[in-house]
Structure 1
Amino acid sequence: MLAPQHRLRSTALFGQTIRKGRKKGSRTVVVHVFAGGGARAEELPVPLQEASTAGPRMGLVVSKAVGNAVTRHDTSRKLRNAFRAVLDEGEIEFPSGTCVVIRALPASARASSEELVADVRSCIRRALR
């Protein structure tokens, strides 16, 4: 389970991350990363001000194209664990107020947890360059 401070729950932040964030993809996922644009916390919109005080926040998009409800739930769980594994490694330095949206592609339903961790890590690294 992902800690509450790392969950992206704001609809406004989801939209802003997808619209303004950097997008990188792999065979199994597409990752949108929005690092707040380097602005100071007081210059950011209210949802981003709240996000800048916590660690990186992550949200998921798992559509019906991935599979039925059981498959989507299983894929969501694997992706949350993949993001948590990337956070626990500590190799990636997330700027303050970073928001990450991970969109699962149909291939993610058949991918192993190790493949998903590698793809999520790779996409986040490329998006933060």
Structure 2
Amino acid sequence: MLPTAARLTRNQDFRLVVRRGRRAGRPRLVVHVLRPDQVRARMSGEAEPEAQANTAPTRDSSASTRVGFVVSKAVGVAVVRHRVARRLRHLMRDRIPDLPAGTLVVVRALPPAAGASSGELGADIDGALKKLRIRCSDGPGSS
């Protein structure tokens, strides 16, 4: 299970990562990543200068790496979707320490993920993170 601080839960956060972040596609999933410097630049660029002074954030959202998952009905029935989401959560939990602090990640499962093993999903995640050059160090599954 992912700790609460490592979960991406708000719809606006998912939308921000998918629209503004970089993505890498693999056969069974797509990984969207928004780096901490992009998050700060985006947040500072959205509001007007006088509005920024009045709306200071109540918590530092850039302090921890957060991950969210999208597993649509195209992947399969509810049992299959939940199995895929659990596998992805477990795989990403082991990779969070290797990501820069404050990184936002969305992992979107594609229909072939339904029949994939955890090893195949892990290889796809590692390949996507390597393509995006986001890993800080060699973590599980890296060669």
Q: TM over 0.5: same fold?
A: yes
Q: Which has the larger radius of gyration?
A: 2
Q: 1:125 to 1:44 in 2, by over 3 A?
A: farther
Say whether residues 1:126 and 2:136 are aligned partners.
Answer: no
Unmatched 5+ residue regions in structure 1?
A: none
Q: 1:95 to 1:44 in 2, by over 3 A?
A: farther
Say whether residues 1:100 and 2:105 are aligned partners.
Answer: yes
TM alignment of 1:82-93, pairs within 5 A: 82-87=91-96, 90=97, 92=98
Q: 1:105 to 1:83 in 2, by over 3 A?
A: same
Unmatched 5+ residue regions in structure 2?
A: 47-55, 135-143
Q: Paired residue for 1:17?
A: 17
Q: Paired residue for 1:72?
A: 81
Shift of 1:51: 2.5
- The runs of at least 4 aligned residues of structure 1 exceeding 6 Å deviation read 44-47
For the residue of structure 2 that corresponds to 1:61, the secondary structure is strand
Shift of 1:96: 3.2
TM alignment of 1:44-63, pairs within 5 A: 50-54=60-64, 56-63=65-72
Higher relative helix content: 1
Q: 1:38 to 1:11 in 2, by over 3 A?
A: closer
Normalising by structure 2, report the TM-score.
Answer: 0.75
For the residue of structure 2 that corresponds to 1:65, the secondary structure is coil
Percent sequence identity is: 40
Instruction: Provide the alpha-carbon RMSD of the alignment.
Output: 2.3
